Amino acid sequence: MADRTNRLGLEITPYRGGKTTLCAGCGHNAISERIIDAFFDLGIDPRRVLKLSGIGCSSKSPAYFLGAAHGFNAVHGRMPSVGTGAMLANGKLLAIGVSGDGDTGAIGIGQFVHLMRRNVPLIYIIEDNGCYGLTKGQFSPTADIGSVLKNGVVNDLTPIDTCALAIQLGASFVARSFSGDKKQLLAILKASLSHRGTALIDVISPCVAFNDHEGSTKSYAYAKDHDEPVDEVSFVPFFEDISIDYDPGTTTEVKMPDGSRLYLKKVAEDYDPTDKLNAMRVIHETARRGEFATGVLYIEPDKADFLTLLNLVDEPLATLPLERVRPGREVLDEIMESLR
Amino acid sequence: MVRHLGAALARVWTLEPGAAVLYDEPLKLNTLRSDLVFYPVPFDKIVAEVCKDAKLRRLVKNMIYDGVLSQLLGIELAEMERALRRQLGKKVKAMELNLAALHAGFAYAEKTFTKHDPYWVERMDKTAGMILVEGNAAAALGAMMAGVTVVAWYPITPSSSLPETLISYMKKYRVDKKTGKATFAIVQAEDEIASIGMVIGAAWAGARAMTSTSGPGISLMSEFAGLAYYAEVPAVVFDIQRVGPSTGLPTRTAQGDIVKAALLSHGDTKHILLIPASVEECYTMAMAAFDLAERFQTLVFVMSDLDLAMNTWMSTAFTYPEGSIDRGKVLDAATLKRIGEWGRYRDVDGDGIPYRTIPGDDMPSYFTRGSGHNDKGQYSERPDDYVNNMHRLARKFDTARRYVPGPEYLDTPGAQIGIIGYGTSHWAIEESRDQLERETGTKTAYLRLRAYPFTPDLAAFVERYSRVYVVEQNRDAQMLSLMRLELPPDLIGKLRSVLHFNGLPIDARSVTDEILIQEGKKERDAVRAPVSAALAAGGE
Of chain A, the percentage scoring pLDDT greater than 90 comes to 67
CA dihedral B133, B139, B140, B146 (to 10 degrees): 130
Q: Which residue of B has its CA nearest to A340?
A: B131
Smallest CA–CA separation between B530 and chain A, in Å? 42
Task: Check CB contact under 8 Å for B147 and A322.
Answer: yes
Alpha helices for B114-191 (secondary structure H): 135-145, 161-173
Is residue B381 in some structural domain? yes
pLDDT digits (tens, 9 = 90+) for B317-333: 999 999 999 999 999 99
Position B426 pLDDT exceeds 90: yes
ipTM: 0.94
Find chain B residues with C-beta within 8 A of A92's C-beta.
360
Count how many domains chain B has.
Answer: 4
Question: What was the pLDDT predicted at B294?
Answer: 98
Question: What was the pLDDT predicted at A291?
Answer: 82
SS3 content of chain B, % helix, strand, coil (to 5): 45, 15, 40
Rounded CA separation A126/A134 (Å): 15
Element (H, E) at A98: strand A94-100
What is the Rg, in whole angstroms, of the alpha carbon atoms belonging to chain B?
A: 27
Is residue A87 in some structural domain? yes
Task: Check CB contact under 8 Å for B183 and A313.
Answer: yes
Task: Check CB contact under 8 Å for B169 and A81.
Answer: no
Structure letter (DSSP) for residue B190: S
Find chain B residues with C-beta within 8 A of A332's C-beta.
141, 145, 318, 320
Which residues 6+ apart lie within 8 Å of B468 measured at CB?
B417, B418, B419, B420, B461, B462, B494, B495, B496
Quick one: average pLDDT of B330-350? Answer: 96
Phi-psi region of B206 (alpha: psi -120 to 50; beta: other; left: phi over 0): left
A295, amino acid identity = G
Position B527 pLDDT exceeds 80: no
In a mutational test of the A interface, the residue from B369, B371, B381 whose CB has the highest number of chain A CBs within 10 Å is B369
Q: Are B12 and B531 in contact (CB under 8 A)?
A: no
Question: What's the CATH code of the domain at A216?
Answer: 3.40.50.970
Position B285 pLDDT exceeds 70: yes
Q: Which residue of B has its CA nearest to A315?
A: B183
Flag the least confident range among A18-27, A100-109, B295-304, B488-497. Answer: A18-27
CA dihedral B514, B518, B521, B522 (to 10 degrees): 50
pLDDT digits (tens, 9 = 90+) for A153-211: 899 999 999 999 999 999 999 999 999 889 999 999 999 999 999 999 999 998 888 88
Rounded CA separation B262/B92 (Å): 53
User: Following DSSP, what letter does each residue of B327-382 receive, concatenated?
Assistant: ---B--HHHHHHH-S--TT--SSSSS---B--TTSSSPP-EEESS-B-TTS-B---
Smallest CA–CA separation between A219 and chain B, in Å? 30
Q: Which of the four pLDDT bands, split at 50, 70 and 90, describes residue B9?
A: confident
Position B163 pLDDT exceeds 80: yes
- Point out the residue among B131, B207, B357 whose CB comes nearest to the CB of A340: B131
pLDDT digits (tens, 9 = 90+) for A254-277: 787 777 777 766 667 678 899 999
Smallest CA–CA separation between A39 and chain B, in Å? 17
Say yes or no: B201 and B307 in one domain: yes
Say yes or no: B169 and B248 in one domain: yes
Find chain B residues with C-beta within 8 A of A88's C-beta.
150, 185, 187, 198, 201-202, 207
Say yes or no: B41 and B88 in one domain: yes
Smallest CA–CA separation between B325 and chain A, in Å? 8
Task: Check CB contact under 8 Å for B182 and A69.
Answer: no
Task: Check CB contact under 8 Å for B190 and A113.
Answer: yes
Is residue B234 in some structural domain? yes
Flag the least confident range among A292-301, B213-222, B232-241, B471-480. Answer: A292-301
- Point out the residue among A81, A114, A340 whose CB comes nearest to the CB of B201: A81
Question: What was the pLDDT predicted at B36?
Answer: 95
Say yes or no: B300 and B422 in one domain: no
Task: Check CB contact under 8 Å for A319 and B150.
Answer: no
Helices B92-112 and B43-50, packing angle to 10 deg? 130
Task: Check CB contact under 8 Å for B208 and A325.
Answer: yes
Number of CB pairs < 8 Å for A and B? Answer: 207
Task: Check CB contact under 8 Å for A81 and B198.
Answer: yes
Closest CA to B357 of B339, B337, B332: B332
pLDDT, greater one: A318 or A248? A318
Task: Check CB contact under 8 Å for B147 and A89.
Answer: no
Quick one: average pLDDT of B401-411? Answer: 97
Q: Are B356 and B331 in contact (CB under 8 A)?
A: yes
Say yes or no: B45 and B147 in one domain: no
Q: Are B229 and B265 in contact (CB under 8 A)?
A: yes
Smallest CA–CA separation between B116 and chain A, in Å? 34
Task: Check CB contact under 8 Å for A311 and B180.
Answer: yes
What SS3 state is found at A266? strand
Closest CA to B353 of B322, B290, B319, B396: B396
| Domain termination site, one of B400, B426, B446 | B400
For residue B364, what are the domain limits? 333-400
Rounded CA separation B515/B35 (Å): 24
| Domain termination site, one of B380, B400, B420 | B400
Which residues 6+ apart lie within 8 Å of B399 measured at CB?
B296, B351, B352, B353
Of chain A, the percentage scoring pLDDT greater than 70 comes to 94
What is the Rg, in whole angstroms, of the alpha carbon atoms belonging to chain A?
A: 21
Closest CA to B111 of B62, B57, B72: B72
pLDDT digits (tens, 9 = 90+) for B236-280: 999 999 999 999 999 999 999 999 999 999 999 999 999 999 999
pLDDT digits (tens, 9 = 90+) for A28-46: 999 999 999 999 999 999 9
Position A311 pLDDT exceeds 90: yes
Rounded CA separation B373/B201 (Å): 19
Is residue A29 in some structural domain? yes
Is residue A330 in some structural domain? no
Of chain B, the percentage scoring pLDDT greater than 90 comes to 89
Give me chain A's average pLDDT, please.
90
Is residue A2 in some structural domain? no
Find chain B residues with C-beta within 8 A of A48's C-beta.
360
Rounded CA separation B502/B508 (Å): 14
Question: What was the pLDDT predicted at B536?
Answer: 62
Q: Are A238 and A194 in contact (CB under 8 A)?
A: yes
Residue A313: C-alpha distances to residues A91, A306, A310, B177, B179 (Å): 10, 13, 9, 11, 8
Say yes or no: B163 and B311 in one domain: yes
pLDDT digits (tens, 9 = 90+) for B47-57: 999 988 899 89
Q: Which of the four pLDDT bands, split at 50, 70 and 90, describes residue B539?
A: very low
Question: What pTM was estimated for this model as a whole?
Answer: 0.92
Count how many domains chain A has.
Answer: 1
Question: What was the pLDDT predicted at A134?
Answer: 86
Is residue A339 in some structural domain? no
Q: Are B121 and B72 in contact (CB under 8 A)?
A: no
Quick one: average pLDDT of B217-238? Answer: 98
- Point out the residue among B183, B195, B198 whose CB comes nearest to the CB of A317: B183
Find chain B residues with C-beta within 8 A of A52's C-beta.
201
Smallest CA–CA separation between A75 and chain B, in Å? 7
Give me chain B's average pLDDT, please.
95
Q: Which of the four pLDDT bands, split at 50, 70 and 90, describes residue B540?
A: very low
Q: Which residue of A has its CA nearest to B365?
A: A70
Which residues 6+ apart lie within 8 Å of B26 measured at CB?
B42, B44
Say yes or no: B340 and B366 in one domain: yes
Task: Check CB contact under 8 Å for A320 and B183.
Answer: yes
Element (H, E) at A41: helix A27-41
Phi, psi of B213, deg, nearest 5: -160, -170
Q: What does the H/E/C string look like for B58-108?
A: HHHHHHHHHHHHHHHHCCCHHHHHHHHHHHHCCCHHHHHHHHHHHHHHHHH
> Which of B212-239 are b and which e, b meaning 16 or more Cβ less than 10 Å from the residue's Cβ?
bbbbbbbbbbbbbbbbbbbbbbbbbbbb
Q: Which residue of A has its CA nearest to B230?
A: A74
Phi, psi of B485, deg, nearest 5: -70, -20
Laid out side by side, the sheet with A122-128 consists of A227-229, A292-299, A173-178, A198-204, A122-128, A94-100, A49-53, A70-73, B367-369
Smallest CA–CA separation between B374 and chain A, in Å? 15
Position B538 pLDDT exceeds 60: no
Say yes or no: B532 and B389 in one domain: no
Q: Which of the four pLDDT bands, split at 50, 70 and 90, describes residue A244?
A: low
Say yes or no: B284 and B155 in one domain: yes
Question: What was the pLDDT predicted at B528?
Answer: 59
Task: Check CB contact under 8 Å for A326 and B145.
Answer: yes
Quick one: average pLDDT of B368-386? Answer: 97
Closest CA to A99 of A70, A142, A68: A142
Q: Are B319 and B313 in contact (CB under 8 A)?
A: no
Question: What was the pLDDT predicted at A209?
Answer: 82
pLDDT digits (tens, 9 = 90+) for A118-163: 999 999 999 998 889 888 889 899 988 888 887 888 999 999 999 9
Smallest CA–CA separation between B126 and chain A, in Å? 13
Smallest CA–CA separation between A12 and chain B, in Å? 17
In a mutational test of the B interface, the residue from A66, A82, A337 whose CB has the highest number of chain B CBs within 10 Å is A82
pLDDT, greater one: B313 or A247? B313
| Domain termination site, one of B112, B147, B164 | B112
In a mutational test of the A interface, the residue from B169, B191, B200 whose CB has the highest number of chain A CBs within 10 Å is B200
Is residue B321 in some structural domain? no
pLDDT digits (tens, 9 = 90+) for B200-209: 999 999 999 9
For residue A59, what are the domain limits? 13-318
